[in-house]
């Protein structure tokens, strides 16, 4: 962890976990051959956070090397549920469940997750 992510006691500030998990979702998307800008351009859509449940189990500290994961739990018509965690080695520090909704860039109303994405993410 970087100094900017911690408080005066060297403990990672709680809200920074949201940033870590957002970055992990972006990198997860890239491992599947897409970017947020690419989804906007190719499909005219974006995924937005609908809800987020976060459990803090142990603190991350200054200079910790963390691994942040993102894994699909379920895909609905326009919704994707992900499990995310922040780990320090084998220790789970934080667990989260995030629900994303696929929305049109024009209206920001829910639209179906494109079949090509749905098929790729089921594997």
For residue 76, CA distances in Å to 12, 87, 118 come to 34, 28, 9
Q: Which residues are catalytic?
A: 7
- What is the rounded CA–CA span in Å between residue 77 and residue 24? 23
Neighbour tally for 61: CB within 10 Å: 16
For residue 87, CA distances in Å to 67, 91, 95, 118 come to 5, 5, 9, 28
């Amino acid at each position: 962890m970087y100094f900017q992510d911690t408080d005066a006691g060297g403990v990672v500030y709680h809200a920074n976990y949201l940033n870590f998990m957002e970055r992990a979702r972006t990198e997860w998307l890239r491992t599947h051959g897409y970017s947020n800008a690419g989804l906007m351009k190719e499909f005219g859509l974006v995924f937005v956070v609908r809800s987020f449940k976060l459990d803090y189990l142990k603190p991350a500290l200054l200079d910790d090397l963390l691994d942040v994961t993102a894994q699909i739990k379920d895909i609905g018509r326009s919704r994707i549920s992900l499990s995310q965690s922040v780990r320090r080695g084998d220790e789970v520090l934080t667990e989260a469940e995030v629900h994303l909704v696929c929305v049109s860039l024009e209206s920001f109303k829910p639209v179906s997750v494109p079949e090509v994405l749905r098929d790729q993410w089921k594997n």
